[in-house]
Amino acid sequence: HEQFNGIIPALITPYGADGGISDSVTRQLVRHLISQGAAGFYLSGSTGEGFLQSTEERQQLLEIVLDEVKSEVPVIAHVGAMDTATAVQLTRHAHQAGAAAVSAVTPFYYKHGPEQVMRHYIDIVEAADIPLIAYHIPGLTGSNASVDFYKELSQVDGIIGLKFTSTNVYEMQQIMDSCGEDFLVFNGPDEICLAGLTMGACGAIGSTYNIMMAPFAELYRLFHEGKLAEARTLQYEVNRVIRELLRYDFIAFEREILRLQGFEVGSPRKPIQQLIDAQRADIYEVAKRFSFL
């Protein structure tokens, strides 16, 4: 699975004037991010607002991105859902459409025991012949699966890795140590991208790569050249932006930055924060202060 590495934006989903997915802006954004070093795309995840989209829209977005990207970089379709049936349906579609992998959050809202969560993942992986990357994001799902759970999960055929979105780097390392070298772990929180890579993550999937692709691609390159001090300088720089971002809903902030960068991606879907003019003006000042935005 050597194709999965590098910095992979969890793509912001561009919406058009009618509120639906914008074919043209999606293509424009994806092209731009590839030119800046994107090593793949992760669609309809947290950043992509997958849970605020219909099943048809999630399929539509995947088809547009695959058509634009061809096989230049791998495209990972997030198929996670509260219910197994939707995840299975999206998985079959992703396989037919030609995605490189699917990924799924641990099922949320209802509290399930580890057997149910395991069954959910097995049902997904058995639905189609496509690799599956599990998605650990306890801050949003409320489900904190254990290191032992992931160890067992890593032994299931077809489950090739985990996107680990928690700043607990020790836990990330414990998962990597228990699951073995072939199990891919992607760093989730962009603010500790370098720490995750240092601990052994194969790459990183995250939201701020939509707005800071170039510096993160450079950070990744420097890390692999062993230039740790320079990589750290870049991590500090991007974290100054992330600090500003965290004053807002991250999706609202990133959409505004993308708009300032010339990508008319539209507003996030409600109930995500809708910016007022004073907030837009504030974000504009942030963008001016950080000239690389």
Helix, strand, or coil (residue 184): strand
Report if residue 208 touches ligand NAY, rule: CB under 6 A: yes
Q: Are 274 and 248 in contact (CB under 8 A)?
A: no
Nearest Cα residue to 218 out of 246, 244, 195, 237 = 237
Piece in contact with ligand NAY (CB under 6 A), picked from 40-48, 64-72, 117-125, 227-235:
40-48
- CA dihedral in degrees (54, 8, 105, 183; nearest 10)? 140
Q: Is 135 a catalytic residue?
A: yes
Report if residue 235 touches ligand NAY, rule: CB under 6 A: no
Instruction: State the nearest-atom distance from the C-beta of 260 to ligand NAY, in Å.
Output: 18
Report if residue 190 touches ligand NAY, rule: CB under 6 A: yes
Report if residue 165 touches ligand NAY, rule: CB under 6 A: yes
Give the residue nearest to ligand NAY (CB): 45
Q: Which strand (E) or helix (H) includes residue 187?
A: strand 184-187
Report if residue 203 touches ligand NAY, rule: CB under 6 A: no
Q: Is 163 a catalytic residue?
A: yes
Binds ligand NAY (CB under 6 A): choice among 125, 130, 159, 205:
205
Report if residue 244 touches ligand NAY, rule: CB under 6 A: no
Binds ligand NAY (CB under 6 A): choice among 189, 196, 266, 268:
189
Q: What is the DSSP letter of 268?
A: P
Residues 121-160 that bind ligand NAY (CB under 6 A): 137, 139-140
Strand ordering across the sheet containing 75-78: 6-9, 203-206, 184-187, 159-164, 132-136, 101-105, 75-78, 41-43
Binds ligand NAY (CB under 6 A): choice among 126, 191, 230, 237:
191
Q: Which of 42, 121, 163, 209 is catalytic?
A: 163
Between 66 and 238, whose beta carbon lies closer to ligand NAY?
238
Instruction: State the nearest-atom distance from the C-beta of 173 to ligand NAY, in Å.
Output: 18
Between 46 and 173, whose beta carbon lies closer to ligand NAY?
46
Nearest Cα residue to 140 out of 272, 280, 8 = 272
Q: Are 88 and 96 in contact (CB under 8 A)?
A: no
Binds ligand NAY (CB under 6 A): choice among 101, 242, 265, 287:
242
**Helical H segments across 134-201, by residue range:** 138-141, 147-154, 169-179, 193-199
Instruction: State the nearest-atom distance from the C-beta of 177 to ligand NAY, in Å.
Output: 23
Between 61 and 205, whose beta carbon lies closer to ligand NAY?
205
Helix, strand, coil share (%) of the chain residues, nearest 5: 50, 15, 35
Nearest Cα residue to 120 out of 92, 89, 88, 90 = 88
Helix, strand, or coil (residue 135): strand
Report if residue 68 touches ligand NAY, rule: CB under 6 A: no
Instruction: State the nearest-atom distance from the C-beta of 115 to ligand NAY, in Å.
Output: 25
The residues, ordered by sequence, that sit 6+ positions from 292 with a Cβ below 8 Å of its Cβ are: 212, 214, 215, 237
Report if residue 207 touches ligand NAY, rule: CB under 6 A: yes
The catalytic residues are 135, 163
